[in-house]
Structure 1
Amino acid sequence: MRSPSDVDRQSGPVRVPDPTVGFWVAKAASTAFGEAASDFSIHVMPPVAAVLLGFVLFLIALGWQLTRRRYTPVVYWFTVAMVGVFGTMAADVVHVVLGLPYAVTTVGYAAALAAVFLLWWRTERTLDVHEVRTTRRELFYWAAVVATFALGTAAGDLAAIGLHLGYVPSILLFGVLILVPALGYRFLRWNGILAFWTAYVLTRPLGASVADWLGKPVTEGGVGVGSGWIALVFAIAMVVVVAVTARARRVLARESAVG
């Protein structure tokens, strides 16, 4: 039997956002930003320095997020953006430095994500983002998020480069795949937690494929806009979406309080 203090800790404020439409739009923008920002950074500075800088910014963002103890839009999405950058770098470093094929890194990160989910479930008996109310659950949540970004990066590269599909066919492939959990949840009564995490994984290769297609040179199958410009565009998109959804959330909260 749990003590009153245990109950209080379990019933604190939720520390991560509800998966609304705005959430998914911001998440997709963050994946594209992370891919483009990672590519840009390793071209304007030594790769080792870029990875170290990405790791430091990720730790700073995560530490800031963990001290909030509630969902704070600016802090949360800054952390997601830094996870996007560092997660991309982690996946790329394993492939480039260690020379592991994309198929191997994809399977490896899938296994890592499965291990996080298993440990999370065995410890907390829930993977529901609506129940992320304690520091321990939030740590599991962010471990899963990092693993999904690395897995998505590897899977996107596997499709576009390893399987020689190219960026546009990869966008279409992952665009279709992400409809599966959405439609399954909407019409077939799929488990909401399973549908959420499946979609969460698939937004990464979809967003990364879009960023690569727009940013990569024409000689590599891209449009040739440049990764720096693409990172800037999607960073602005993230800021706008987060600002709009945060404002709508405040208005709804005020109306609920008045009502």
Structure 2
Amino acid sequence: MNNQPDRTPRAETTVGDVMATAATARRGRNALPVKVPEITLGFWVIKVLTTGMGETASDYLARTIDPIVAVGLATVGLAILLVAQIRADRYRAWLYWATVAMVSVFGTMAADVLHVALGIPYIVSTVAFAVAVAAVFALWHRSERTLDIHSVTTHRREAFYWTTVLATFALGTAAGDLTATTLHLGYLASGVLFAVAIAVPAVAHRQWGLNPVLGFWLAYVLTRPLGASFADWVAVSTDRAGLGLGTGPVSLVLIIAIIVAVGIQDVALRR
């Protein structure tokens, strides 16, 4: 019989191991289903439609009812939808895109209030919102170590996500107005400019391996001034170099287009 001591290495359980296991278990219990859509062509089409709708609907509301009442209604509507979205147990296409649409309306109003009511130049608000977006990204990454929207599986990450979405809409609104009015490019030329700019992340990703998360967020920011510029061009009067179809009719057409596009996407995802 071998009386030599057993020298087989044994795994030692430390306090750190126990704490790490407990933390993993807590994350598992607190994890949520991913409540954002897959990034497909349909996603980008709907996103651009919501940006245009937010721009024209905000302008329409501000001109047809008291601006303070309009901002108040948008704030309440956004709060209700955000609470419903955060409490949802899974991704629900209609709820998600309704929330994005309301963020678009509210973000447009937030950017316009700074310029129209407070007289802040678009260049200042654009820089300020850009700093705000960068700050949210920095805090999000420092806290969660990722900015991938498909890692949004906790309430904290969801809060970071929707804060980022709101900030990007405000930034895009200010940037679009900056190019169209302050830089005197006009709405059509601004739309073309942002259409070219939004293609850059896609090309950089395909040709030079741009980080997909970085490319996504660059494109996401640019969809706002892209959609808003073309929507403004169609809606504003001819003396402002637009087609003069009106903010009300354009908003209605875009709302219908959003409903149809979301319906098609929802049916496709269910198959």
Q: TM-score range by the shorter chain?
A: over 0.9
User: Secondary structure of 1:3's partner?
Assistant: helix
How far 1:250 sits from its partner (Å)? Answer: 0.4
* Contact kept? 1:121, 1:127, Cα under 8 Å: yes
Q: Which one has a bigger Cα radius of gyration? A: 2
Q: Which residue of 1 aligns with 2:28?
A: 7
Q: Which residue of 2 aligns with 1:170?
A: 190
Match of 2:104 among 64, 84, 89: 84
How far 1:219 sits from its partner (Å)? Answer: 1.1
Deviations 1:170-219 (CA, angstroms, capped at 9, x unpaired): 01100100000111122221101100000000000000001100111111
How far 1:83 sits from its partner (Å)? Answer: 0.2
Q: State how far apart, in whole Å, the 1-side matches of 2:112 and 2:58 are.
A: 9
Q: State how far apart, in whole Å, the 2-side matches of 1:25 and 1:8 are.
A: 35
Match of 2:249 among 229, 233, 236: 229
* AA matched with 2:28: V
- Counting matched residue pairs gives 250
* AA matched with 1:131: S
Q: Which residue of 1 aligns with 2:48?
A: 28
Alignment of 1:49 with 2:69, yes or no, is: yes
* Structure 1 residue ranges without an equivalent (≥5): 252-259
* AA matched with 2:241: G
* AA matched with 2:133: L
Q: Which residue of 2 aligns with 1:152?
A: 172
1:114-129 paired onto structure 2 within 5 Å: 114-129=134-149
Q: State how far apart, in whole Å, the 2-side matches of 1:187 and 1:238 are.
A: 32
* Contact kept? 1:16, 1:76, Cα under 8 Å: yes
How far 1:13 sits from its partner (Å)? Answer: 1.2
Q: State how far apart, in whole Å, the 2-side matches of 1:118 and 1:70 are.
A: 27
Alignment of 1:38 with 2:62, yes or no, is: no
1:188-199 paired onto structure 2 within 5 Å: 188-199=208-219
The share of aligned pairs that are identical, in percent, is 53
* Runs of 4+ residues over 4 Å off in structure 1: none
* AA matched with 1:105: S
Q: State how far apart, in whole Å, the 2-side matches of 1:238 and 1:220 are.
A: 27
Deviations 1:13-66 (CA, angstroms, capped at 9, x unpaired): 101112111100000000000001001101110111111111111111111111
Q: State how far apart, in whole Å, the 2-side matches of 1:237 and 1:185 are.
A: 29
Match of 1:98 among 106, 109, 118: 118
Q: State how far apart, in whole Å, the 2-side matches of 1:119 and 1:69 are.
A: 26
* Contact kept? 1:58, 1:79, Cα under 8 Å: yes
* Structure 2 residue ranges without an equivalent (≥5): 1-19
Q: State how far apart, in whole Å, the 2-side matches of 1:188 and 1:238 are.
A: 33
Q: State how far apart, in whole Å, the 1-side matches of 2:133 and 2:225 are.
A: 15
TM-score (norm: length of structure 1): 0.95
* AA matched with 2:24: S
Q: State how far apart, in whole Å, the 1-side matches of 2:245 and 2:206 are.
A: 37
Give the direction of change, closer, same or farther, for the CA distance of 1:58–1:197 in structure 2 (3 Å limit).
same
Q: State how far apart, in whole Å, the 1-side matches of 2:259 and 2:226 are.
A: 20
Deviations 1:205-252 (CA, angstroms, capped at 9, x unpaired): 00000110011111112110000111111111111111111111000x
